[in-house]
Amino acid sequence: MLLLPLIGEDIYTTEKIFNENHVSKGGFLYSLSSQPSRKDLVDFDIKVYTLKNTADSNPLGYVKVTLHAHKDVSDSELLYYEDVSEALYISQCAVMKNYQKGGLGKVMFDLLFRMYPDKIFLSHVSVRNLPSLKLHYRHNFKKLGVYQSEDFYGYGGYVSDLVIRHPARGS
């Protein structure tokens, strides 16, 4: 498996992966603005990586990371004791519906953290999203606290674990 930077022709597939995992379909992806887009291809503060069998195949999943957490997260008092100025924020990750529960999420995270061995990662995950919580905690994310929003991209009562992953010591 390979984790490769998004290229223009992947947009169609990543859009499909987003759509089939959108909250309107019972999934946990909320924001259209964090769906991978053509704009991301030229934005230096955003990296979208696709998980592929080979360089030429279609993406089976994607992870989008930004160089800064979005403001309501980075302003959170839960981060008071952390230096997250250089942290990477996972703004979205998803695996194609037909391939979920098959270990691809794990592979994708393994490859991502291998790519950035010295980075702190931040993420927040809905408390109802068991697969994603497991995925994060299996990869040594620690819970900083609960992040709540009454209006999360138009959806009420969003409650999530705000989680942080420090680089392994000695790496």
Ligand X SMILES: CC(C)(COP(=O)(O)OP(=O)(O)OC[C@H]1O[C@@H](n2cnc3c(N)ncnc32)[C@H](O)[C@@H]1OP(=O)(O)O)[C@@H](O)C(=O)NCCC(=O)NCCS
In 30-153, beta strands by DSSP E: 46-52, 61-66, 88-95, 121-126, 142-149
Which C-beta is closer to ligand X: that of 81 or that of 157?
157
Task: Tell me the closest approach of the beta carbon of residue 61 to ligand X, in angstroms.
Answer: 6
β-sheet bridge partners, residue 95: 61
Which C-beta is closer to ligand X: that of 1 or that of 170?
1
Task: Tell me the closest approach of the beta carbon of residue 63 to ligand X, in angstroms.
Answer: 8
Q: Rounded CA gap, 166 and 151, in Å?
A: 29
What is the number of the residue whose Cβ is closest to ligand X?
105
- Percentage helix, strand, coil, to 5, in the chain? 30, 30, 40
Task: Tell me the closest approach of the beta carbon of residue 159 to ligand X, in angstroms.
Answer: 13
Contact residues toward ligand X (CB under 6 A) are 21, 27-29, 93-95, 100-106, 125, 129-132, 134-135, 138
Structure tokens at 125: 């995950």
79, 144 Cβ separation under 8 angstroms: yes
Which C-beta is closer to ligand X: that of 1 or that of 41?
1
Task: Tell me the closest approach of the beta carbon of residue 108 to ligand X, in angstroms.
Answer: 7
Which C-beta is closer to ligand X: that of 156 or that of 170?
156
92 exposure class (CB count in 10 Å sphere: 0-12, 13-18, 19+): buried
